[in-house]
Amino acid sequence: MSQRLRKQAVELDKNFRYEISQKIGAKSLLKCIQCGVCSSGCTVTEYVDLQPHRIVASCLLGLKEEVLSSQAIWTCSLCHRCTERCPKNVDYSFILALLRSMAAQEGRIPKEYSSSVITILENGFVIPYSEGMKKNIDKRRARLGLPEISGPNQNEIEFIYEETGLKELIKKTEVGK
Amino acid sequence: MNQENQWRYGFFLGCVAPNRYPMIESSIRAVFDHLGAELLELEGAACCPAPGVFRAFHIPSWLIIAARNISIAEELGVSPLTGCNGCYGTLRDAWFEMEHEPHLKKMVNEHLAKIGRKYKGNLEPKHVVQALYLDMGIEYLRDHVKHKFKDLKVAVHYGCHILKPSDKRPWDGEYENPTFLDEIVELTGAKSINYQDKFMCCGAGGAVRTAVKEVSADFTREKLANIREAGADIIIDVCPFCHLQLDLGQMEANGVYKNMIGEPFKTPVIYLTQLLGLSFGIDPNKLGLIKNHNLAGVPPFISIDPFMEIVKEQLI
């Protein structure tokens, strides 16, 4: 996103910064001094459309749409270097997780994410354990004398998904596609 | 308290180790057994759930499912123990956050009560390496060393979530220059070599591997090139997901970046307890160090034979 963005003051979402900072663990957003340490140490810095310090600046400015639709919030390996190095203790890696969940609330989430969450709902594990792979893995586990893999009671997991509204949210993201 | 009572853990398997790299699971079990530590099975444990993909989607459910997993160990009166940095990240961060935000714990328990479970939070989730280094201690491990490598150059890969966020980890805030893992590796006579950007992420986390493959493959390639450049015989890691990325990632880089990397990558990737177990004199088969197989499409993707040759020459 190298082209200049022009917006009138009235077009900014001035509440966006507080929408984030009032959440547990995200108050630190307001302390950013734009030094850029987060971006200089960021593992994915050369791959993103908005680097960490610019995401933070955009949050503070009220560029909600730009932030939530950026590719940057989905391109983070959660290595936590930004958070560790920040001289003002801004917890960027957590704020990023929060931004992801805010985008998800609006149904804007890459399908790889929602499909992983569905996999856990259906299997209890995020790494599928089925078909040909299952046969090979079972064979090797037996050879190593390892116990059989026993997943969770799926009813419990499903109940949690329903209770918290996560199941509804998955439906919403499915429709949103 | 005798040692047997002291070292009891609930073995939280996670997803990647049991379903893709049972060799890792097997080596953890063998080494802990050898050291007199008991690993209890956690019946009904689910995905941790994955910190990148799940937390991103829905924070409260992430917390509740994590608390549910921890509560299974609590029922047995033991800390959950994981050999995976990702699971460690989730379990430990969730535990830490609930300790510091009582109303989160309350919210979680309101949900858990409906499925007949309760989260107490009095038992700290631990990493395999944490149990080895902090609970048992380096001297205790040293006492068990039987065989030493004479010449083995190891590229140690810590991974991210074993170290960070550092305020939620047990390493006294150290994250840029820790040595605990190198110390354990060097007990075996191996040399932990320095390489450029040693603490760089493997490239798998945060769902980057799942969702943005090309980014993930590119920085894994960089990491692998740095490791090879330094002349490493093997890579040692402490996370099945890093393990997958560094193992399968070599195959992927060999395909996608064929013109860029020169010779194809072929550095064997070995989990810490596999190396440690060899040095303790444990049967390689129990450590999952079995001869390369002909099961196409299942791990390990990079042959460990060159490493087994070194083992044969130097240890036996």
Mutate to test the interface with A, among B11, B54, B57 (most CBs of A within 10 A): B57
CATH code: domain of residue B105: 1.20.1050.140
**pLDDT value, residue B205:** 84
**pLDDT value, residue B1:** 45
**pLDDT value, residue B5:** 58
The answer, for B84 touching chain A at a CB cutoff of 8 Å, is no
- Note whether B162 and B123 are same-domain residues: no
Q: Which residues are registered as beta bridge partners of B149?
A: none
Number of domains in chain B: 2
- Note whether A125 and A99 are same-domain residues: no
Contact list, A133 vs chain B (CB under 8 Å): 19, 297-298
Closest chain B C-alpha to A79 CA, distance in angstroms: 5
CA end-to-end span of chain A, whole Å? 24
Residue A57 has pLDDT above 50, yes or no: yes
Closest chain A C-alpha to B64 CA, distance in angstroms: 8
Annotate B288-315 with b (16+ C-beta within 10 A) or e (fewer).
bbbeeeeeeebbbbbebeebbebbeebb
H or E, element range at B234:
strand B234-237
B97–A159 C-beta distance less than 8 A: no
- Note whether B180 and B252 are same-domain residues: yes
Q: In a 10 Å sphere around its CB, with 0-12 CB exposed, 13-18 middle and 19+ buried, how is residue A3 labelled?
A: exposed
| Assembly ipTM | 0.91
**pLDDT value, residue B292:** 60
Q: Which amino acid is at A90?
A: V
- Place A6 in a pLDDT band, splitting at 50, 70 and 90: confident
A160–B111 C-beta distance less than 8 A: yes
Contact list, B291 vs chain A (CB under 8 Å): none
- Note whether B171 and B39 are same-domain residues: no
Mutate to test the interface with A, among B39, B90, B163, B212 (most CBs of A within 10 A): B212
Measured CA to CA, the distance from residue B158 to residue B169 in angstroms comes to 13
Closest chain B C-alpha to A89 CA, distance in angstroms: 11
Closest chain A C-alpha to B151 CA, distance in angstroms: 29
Measured CA to CA, the distance from residue B125 to residue B36 in angstroms comes to 20
Read off the pTM.
0.94
* Least confidently predicted of A65-74, A120-129, B57-66: A120-129
A76–B208 C-beta distance less than 8 A: yes
Residues of chain A numbered 5-64 and touching chain B (CB < 8 Å): 24-25, 43-44, 47
**Segments forming the whole domain that contains residue A30:** 9-105
**pLDDT value, residue A124:** 87
Look at residue B277 and tell me if it is in a domain: yes
Residue A2 has pLDDT above 80, yes or no: no
- Note whether B37 and B181 are same-domain residues: no
- Place A25 in a pLDDT band, splitting at 50, 70 and 90: confident
Contact list, B111 vs chain A (CB under 8 Å): 160, 163-164
Name residue, tokens 């190891």: B154
- Note whether A87 and A126 are same-domain residues: no
**pLDDT value, residue B291:** 67
- Note whether A17 and A66 are same-domain residues: yes
- Note whether B169 and B308 are same-domain residues: yes
Number of domains in chain A: 2
Closest chain A C-alpha to B121 CA, distance in angstroms: 19
- Place A133 in a pLDDT band, splitting at 50, 70 and 90: confident
Shortest CB distance from A164 goes to which of B25, B60, B218? B60
Nearest residue of chain A to residue B160 (CA atoms): A79
Helical packing angle, A166-176 and A154-163, nearest 10°: 80
Query: How many alpha carbons fall within 13 Å on the CB side of residue B99?
Result: 12
Beta strands in B115-205 (DSSP E): 126-127, 153-157, 191-192
The answer, for A97 touching chain B at a CB cutoff of 8 Å, is yes
Residues of chain B numbered 190-229 and touching chain A (CB < 8 Å): 200-201, 203-208, 210-212, 215-216, 218-219
pLDDT, tens digit only, all 316 positions of chain B: 445 558 999 999 999 999 999 999 999 999 999 999 999 999 999 999 998 888 888 899 999 999 999 999 999 999 999 999 999 999 999 999 999 999 999 999 999 999 999 999 999 999 999 999 999 999 999 999 999 999 999 999 999 999 999 999 999 999 999 999 999 999 999 999 999 999 999 988 877 888 888 888 988 999 999 999 999 999 999 999 999 999 999 999 999 999 999 999 999 999 999 999 999 999 999 999 976 665 567 789 999 999 999 999 998 7
Q: For residue A93, what are its two tokens?
A: 């890696």
| Residue finishing a domain among A67, A84, A105 | A105
**pLDDT value, residue B2:** 47
**pLDDT value, residue B295:** 53
Closest chain A C-alpha to B133 CA, distance in angstroms: 23
**Segments forming the whole domain that contains residue B203:** 146-314
